[in-house]
Amino acid sequence: MTADACCQIETPRSAGTGRCPACGDAGREVDRITVKALLRPDALARLTAPAHRFCPRASCPVVYFGDGETFGRGDVAVPVFQKEAPGDRTLCYCFAIGEGDMLREIAETGRTTAAQRIRDHVQAGRCACEVRNPQGSCCLGNVVAAAKALGAGGAEAPILGHARREEP
């Protein structure tokens, strides 16, 4: 898979349809292989709808929904980044990079290279986002957003006093 194919930040393909039955937000379409790969066996045995959407709202208990069915956090075999509290969430499911890893790297070096490491793996054809990431797409958007939230700016930008910022 190329970086272009894997790592595009997608918007819902049909934003006007497919609203989560629990929160009402528009969900983004996910491939069936994503849902099948990440549901726990008991939830997979209940799978009937031909198409599903991912609900990214943090406060919503629904992860996937389809025609007449929903699957929540307990039905999914991995913690879902968007549904977990910030701190040590998994950011990259393919290469096991979490917020805690980024924080340690920032503390040690003043920056994070997580996004570039992931880009390198993607370009080498090693990502498996469609079966490892609950949102069914590349994690780079989450990684870059987390780097900014953690005070690292861009993917490799040096930070300015992260966690050590002194008040003027």
Structural domains for the chain: 8-75 (2.20.25.270), 84-149 (no CATH)
The pTM for the full model equals 0.78
pLDDT at 59: 96
Q: Which distant-in-sequence residues (6+ apart) come within 8 Å of 30 by Cβ?
A: 52, 53, 54, 64, 135, 136
Cβ–Cβ < 8 Å for 40, 77: yes
- pLDDT exceeding 90 applies to what percent of the chain? 70
pLDDT at 7: 52
Per-residue pLDDT, averaged over 123-132, amounts to 94
User: Where does 55-168 show beta strands of DSSP type E?
Assistant: 62-66, 69-72, 90-92, 97-98
Q: Using 50, 70 and 90 to split pLDDT, how confident is the model at 166?
A: very low
